[in-house]
A and B are shown apart, each in its own frame.
Chain A
Amino acid sequence: MFKEFAKGLSITLKHLLPGNTTTVEYPKQRLEIAPRFRGLHRLVPAQDREKCVACYLCPTVCPAKCITVESEENEKGEKYPRVYEIDLLRCIFCGYCVEACPVEAIEMTSAYELANFNRGDFVFDKARLLKS
């Protein structure tokens, strides 16, 4: 019985040695993010506007119905999203919006620290999505 006890404890002790812990000391320490990680969305800017042309494919494909787009015509006669909002509380980070986008205007970043204090702060509008 003592033999088994020692064997078990040795495993425990081995893990206590430096370099053998599996716990990551977050936030001091961070895991490396996989290149295809699906974090916070980002609207890709073009030269003087967003790349998005308000084609409504992302709100159409979105299974969580968390994207709101309202299109309008700008001074140059181009179609642009007057409103582009993602409600992150509803978003399931499936990435369909990125897949559906015909102009590669939306992508998903590696940002995952999305906690906030107010419900309202979870709704990302166009300006925030462009900066993220």
Chain B
Amino acid sequence: MVNLTIDGKQITTAKTSTIYEAAKENGIYIPVLCYAKKLLPYGACRICLVEVEQMKGRLIPSCTTPVTEGMVVTTLSDEIRKVRKTVLEFLLVNHVVDCPVCDKGGECDLQDLTYEYEVVTNRFEGEKFDLPTDEVNPLIERNMNRCVLCGKCVRVCDEVVGYGSYSFINRGFETKIATAFDRGLNCEFCGQCVSMCPVGAILPRPFKFKARPWQLKEVDSVCGYCGNGCTVTLGVKDNQVQTIRFNEDTGVNHGNLCVRGRFGYSYVNDSKRLTKPLIRKGGELKEASWDEAFATITEKFKTAGKDLGIISGARLTNEELLLLKRVSSAIGTQNLDHSGGECYKGLTEGLKETMGISASTGTFPQVEKCDAILAIRSDFYETHPVFGMVINQAIRLNDAQLAVIADKRGKLSKLPNARTLIHKPGCEINMINALCQVIIAEGLAQTAGLQGITELTKALADYTPEAVAGMVGADAEAIKKTARELANAQNAAIVVAYGLPYTAYSKEIAIAAANLALLTGIAGRDGSGLYLCGEKANSQGAVDLQIIPGPAGLGAQQVLSTAAEGKLPVLYLVGEDPLVSYPDQTLVKKALEKTFLVVQDLFMTDSAKYADIVLPAASFAEKEGTFTNAERRIQRLRAGIKSPGEAKTDFAIFQQLLDKLQKTAPTTPAAAFSELTAEVSGYTDIIYEQIGAQGQVWGGETLVPVKKVLVPVAGMEPLQADYQLLVGSALYHSGTVSTRSKGPMSVCPEPYIEFNRDDAATFGVTTGEMVQLKADGVAIQAKVKVDNRLPKGVLFAPYHFGELGLNKIYKGQSVIAVEPGKI
């Protein structure tokens, strides 16, 4: 610790602090333009100049100067004031003062400082900038005439996102921020630069001219897309979510968001939202009253009794899931499941079997301090972009070594220190087994308290790095190096994502990862962690609440196959669109046709078209409640807007259903949460009202495994086919709901099939041309996207789009043998 004096106040602060940070901690105000909490000090704007007794004769930039013992700092004097005012005058020489039409007006740092320092005239003369604005891309508006060259966008894109879209170009007065070759922006569109810009140079285009900042009501809630659980601050006006506001003070994400979180909100305001219950009469869905709908539903549910099938989505709040469970037990059915039933088995069966828990063992902020990180499947960045940014931070700030076990390259492979171990599709387990084998063979394993080490050693005999490398095509030396890194690291993390497109061997991959985590001691050690991250906002909550089939119940896949046989009288789909997102479309279609179908959703989804009753539900922006994110963090949602028409929150729907079934239901989400804490292990002692801005992690920062059992899992045989299709997530989308949002759709509007350059050349196709994939006699068609991240012979298609019909050929397998052909 260091002692210093700022403005006569005695301050003790950390040795690593800068003057600015020390002052801020103690409530002393120093103006800044180029400083940001999450970025490295830069010192570009010279607004934060202060006087230091020991360095008389010149002013010192407080944001880049570290504190030293006995320092005496003055933050405001006549001279400082004069210099700051001069700096502002210099900035305003070229800055176009178009505040009336600039959307930043009202929250612009330059505007505020100009006001504070009363810069009403300018002693200097110069030309105003007249640069062309970037009108090409649909999401991020860049008007470089307003730029003050603070470099925050350049730094955030490099340091946090790891993309590096921007750089300074030219020299002197000509200096400006530009992309490579000064073209339009074509990037991940995460909008981090938008959130960082202190002036109106980079703005969100969907919000252009919509409202002024002071008109917006800010509501802190949790993003409804992926399991990362980022805090989003809704900017609400006229009962619409107008934009997502920048907020770095709450949540686990420090204001970082991805394209979905920042630009994917428009589905909430969509005019196509369902507003009234629909009942099928005479073959057509007609508007009806809630009473009528509830009456029919209760009657049908009661008649079905234990044969009712319930499939839920994982974007319901914990409280809603609790009520859904109550509904299922009131009816007496055990056929309750979520998210396709297969993909989360890594948690409920895999981790349960090996470690006795069913959740990630660490928290996201811990990953920033890791020395070694292993990402299994390159799609991790695509499913959880903001966690990907944390991994990038670990590399930048902590020089972490990242290894990616993947069937294709991805964003993670592009990060510095990244080593991508490309293997044949469907063989992740072989690779993890090889890592385990190296760790045991080289005596690096931490065997204390582990059960089943001998069995595992025996079972892994065939998985020497050389053997695995020969079989699945990775580099044996790289495998060994990765294993050593993981075993020797003080803090390490293993990350895996699960979700609907990854239903194959999800249990086995989790067991393999758990073996590795146990052998390296990662599981349960403070600072390290095994992360199994759910695809949806409340995937972890659904697992915690046991939205899984009872002992005599059917899982989602069995429910659908039973229904397809005509043996399931009633099916209740809550926030799921299985026709688009579940494997095996033919089966799902048959199932939906043959049963009395009740669908509860925001939109008239493809599955809802087969429904006999459709109930209009509410989006995350209209709900109160909690989500549990992939690191077990329970965070509160707050309602920003009212639901359209007669649409009700899922909570209200379940409440009324329970009421009709003569059961009592908790009256508010808070009451439901307190009932929930009594039922769900780990949630005990958490009080709804006390869940703060950072949420509350159940089980503590490090969840200690209950047991440590090593379970051998067999690897897979690589598929023998010339062309193999991988199914996965696209960065711009999450589930199917993002396809109803303008932001994600403006950058990724249609399905595509990704080809390697060589394969594209073989078939003579280029980006944008139509191509056909045939598998088992069924063909699907989509446009080609040529990229260089896939190995030869491997194709990729995202699963979000209904029009592609990907699940006509995707039946839950890890990789699909296909025959591509040009149309």
Contacts and interface: CB of A to CB of B under 8 A. Distances in A.
Contact of A73 (B99, B105, B208, B214): B208
Interface string A103-126: 100000000000000000000000
A53 B105 CA distance: 13
Interface string A69-80: 001110001110
Contacts of A55: 99-101, 105, 212
Contact of B212 (A60, A78, A102, A103): A60
B209 interface: yes
B186 interface: no
Contacts of B101: 53-55, 78-79
Closest 5 CB pairs of A and B: A55-B100, A79-B101, A71-B209, A56-B212, A102-B100
A79 B100 CA distance: 9
Interface of B: 99-101, 105, 135, 208-212, 214-215
A78 B101 CA distance: 8
A54 B105 contact: no
B215 A54 contact: no
A62 interface: no
Nearest to A102: B100
Interface string A40-59: 00000000000001111100
Interface residues of A, number: 14
Given A56-B212, A60-B212, A60-B214, A77 B100 contact: no
> Chain A CB within 10 Å — which of B105, B212, B215 has the most?
B212
A5 to B, nearest CB: 67
Contacts of B105: 55
Contacts, number: 28
B100 A73 contact: no
A36 B1 CA distance: 64
A117 to B, nearest CB: 31
Given A55-B105, A56-B215, A77-B135, A102 B99 contact: yes
A24 B570 CA distance: 85
Interface string A6-30: 0000000000000000000000000
Among B100, B211, B212, residue most surrounded by chain A Cβ atoms (within 10 Å): B100
Contacts of A79: 101, 209
Contacts of B212: 55-56, 60
A39 to B, nearest CB: 25
Contacts of B214: 60
Contacts of B208: 73
A2 to B, nearest CB: 71
Most interface-central of A54, A60, A71, A103 (chain B CB within 10 A): A71
Contacts of B209: 54, 71-73, 79
Contacts of A103: 100
A79 B143 CA distance: 14
Contacts of B135: 77
A90 to B, nearest CB: 19
Contact of A53 (B100, B210, B211, B215): B100
Nearest to B141: A77
15 contacts: A54-B209, A55-B99, A55-B105, A55-B212, A56-B211, A56-B212, A60-B214, A71-B209, A71-B210, A73-B209, A77-B135, A78-B101, A79-B101, A79-B209, A103-B100
Contacts of A56: 211-212, 215
Most buried by A among B135, B209, B211: B209
A105 B105 CA distance: 18
Given A54-B101, A55-B101, A60-B215, 19 more contacts: A53-B100, A53-B101, A54-B209, A55-B99, A55-B105, A56-B211, A56-B212, A56-B215, A57-B100, A60-B212, A71-B209, A71-B210, A73-B208, A77-B135, A78-B101, A79-B101, A102-B99, A102-B100, A103-B100
Contacts of A53: 100-101
A57 B106 CA distance: 10
B567 to A, nearest CB: 56
